[in-house]
Structure 1
């Protein structure tokens, strides 16, 4: 009899916890598609927020310094496998694009050995370091790598979440005005 009472008390307690949990869930807004909710980040067409960061080389870089140029703004980390996978393609794109497209690959884990990663992979484009996580938060990056393609007027022309290949980089840059 005691076992039945204990089992009933435990069952009622678990049921109570489940009800409280279910009532605590916040409803998703009905006017937001699931795809949009999953993507996060700044939207295509928005003005790209300006920022100022120190690069791995010690230079100061501001996004606004590149107004009038196409910019590929990439967020990455040294520990991220998809980030590592796209770096050779980014380096190739950098060499092919020349002065037509500026690549800014914002590193979000500068406390790790970014210089060794850059040296090991032969990266020659600028690597701004987001030591305070300010730019990452400003651009609302939820998943890395995330790449914003910014047009000559400073607007976000496109956004890509995940590792990109060379052809995708060329196509997104070509679509910019």
Structure 2
């Protein structure tokens, strides 16, 4: 009987040690984890990411520091996304070198290249193949667009399709 008591106490003691050690293990969060914890919102630093374009080039958001960035999340099946693409294309053609227009596609398993060709899109389309950027930016509705200033700070978040003049207005507000 005493052996059972000793074994029970030993098991409880070992479990307590394991729990304390598990709670003690605190790793430093990554920049993306911090951004998610704080929430991707206006006034926050835009979480960095690196994605490939349709042509296989790599685009890293932090490499665009110093530029105004329009970061748009969209899908090929999304009606409002399709509706705003011509306005984004027009803005891309009008914009100077201090503005970057990026379209992050969240359904890369579909025919994104065909969609881009059919609609005459020339601005960079990034493929979120692992659904990581979509998750980091907490996208729940598309299109969703972030306007990021030249210091990498999110100034505006717009959910839903926008006309050209609204896009221009948000870009002009950025520093």
| Shorter-chain TM-score range | 0.7 to 0.9
Q: Report the TM-score when normalising by structure 1.
A: 0.76
- Does residue 1:101 correspond to 2:99, yes or no? yes
The number of aligned residues is 137
**Hey, what does 1:120 align to over in structure 2?**
118
**Hey, what does 1:82 align to over in structure 2?**
80
Q: Report the TM-score when normalising by structure 2.
A: 0.77
RMSD, matched Cα: 0.8
For 1:1-177, what aligned pairs fall within 5 Å after superposition? 42-177=40-175
Unaligned runs of 5+ in 2: 1-38
Higher mean C-alpha deviation, range 96-105 or range 117-126: 96-105
Alpha-carbon distance, 1:100 to partner: 2.8
Alpha-carbon distance, 1:118 to partner: 0.4
Counterpart CA distance in 2 for 1:142 and 1:135 is: 12
Counterpart CA distance in 2 for 1:128 and 1:98 is: 20
Alpha-carbon distance, 1:47 to partner: 0.3
- Counterpart contact for 2:66–2:98, Cα < 8 Å: no
Alpha-carbon distance, 1:98 to partner: 2.9
3-state SS, counterpart of residue 139 of structure 2: coil
Runs of at least 4 residues of structure 1 off by over 4 A? none
